Amino acid sequence: MPNKNESSVLPNHQCLNCKEALTYIEHARSLYCQKPLCQRAKVQDYLVDNKKRLTAELIIELEEYIQSAPNQKLPKGLGNELDETSPVVALLPANTKQLTNLSQKRQLEFLRHLGLIYKDVEANNPTANRVYLEHLNPPLQDDEAQLLGNACATCMGSCCKHGQTHAFVDYPSLKHLLASQLTDLSEQELLDLYSDYFPKQSYQYSCVFHGEKGCALPRELRSFTCNNFLCDGVLKYRNEVKYANSSLTFAAAVDNDKIMFTSIYNNANFTRVK
């Protein structure tokens, strides 16, 4: 049996990042030393490894699907593209909430919020309630909108949870909407307009308009925040697909390091696999 000194400093153990010696016990706890720089390297390496693992898992799953699925299961355009190009991989978040009946209480909370903002606009009082975003970005090109929309369809709206019972409706968004109407809307007309779009079922604790098929509101009724927002996963994907020679995509929606949903798509076809 080794004595205490021998067992606590074994020469082979060193921090994976800075290569400084680690004691036996330190090494047993972590392959990295405690220096902040090395702790950051540890997280970074974990993320890279995790991304590699998820990518490999996704490709195996979808290749298996393609091999086993009768050809007619894949839309025609996709089948041809699969033979000719390798896909871009999109790793996205996942909406894992359950669909439930949208309660009267949550509907009323939204309508109360909408009424408040309506009164702010009437009174020219932009600072009375929270402003989420001042400006609306110009819309994306059709092809890109379709492609990024397919990424969002794979995730099914993880970001929508932040909409709660306000749906990010704020002074700039509502002012813009009201100004774009052909005739002036009364408060009641506005409340009625939005009420028409409450989904029967919405995702639990998510935005009141987050229904089974995504946002139940037409685009012009959505807030600036909702119309502009692209999550980190979609932004990364957008950047990668820009430089790829095809828009063919293997997409995975991931929750807690686990692949929840998958899809195969390009800017013309979308197939949900899981």
Q: Which is nearer to Zn ion, 45 or 187 (CB)?
A: 45
Q: Which is nearer to Zn ion, 39 or 164 (CB)?
A: 39
What's the CA gap between 54 and 257, in Å, rounded? 8
Extract the runs of DSSP E, i.e. beta strands, from the chain: 88-93, 99-101, 201-203, 210-211, 214-215, 249-255, 258-265, 270-272
State the nearest-atom distance from the C-beta of 234 to Zn ion, in Å: 34
Using an 8 Å Cβ cutoff, are 208 and 165 in contact? yes
DSSP per-residue codes, 75-132: -HHHHHHHHH-PPEEEEEE---PPEEEPPHHHHHHHHHHHHHHHHHHHTT-TTSS---
State the nearest-atom distance from the C-beta of 38 to Zn ion, in Å: 3
State the nearest-atom distance from the C-beta of 40 to Zn ion, in Å: 10
Q: Which amino acid is at 93?
A: P
State the nearest-atom distance from the C-beta of 18 to Zn ion, in Å: 3
Q: Which is nearer to Zn ion, 18 or 235 (CB)?
A: 18
Residues that bind Zn ion (CB under 5 A): 15, 17-18, 33, 35, 38
Q: Which is nearer to Zn ion, 30 or 96 (CB)?
A: 30
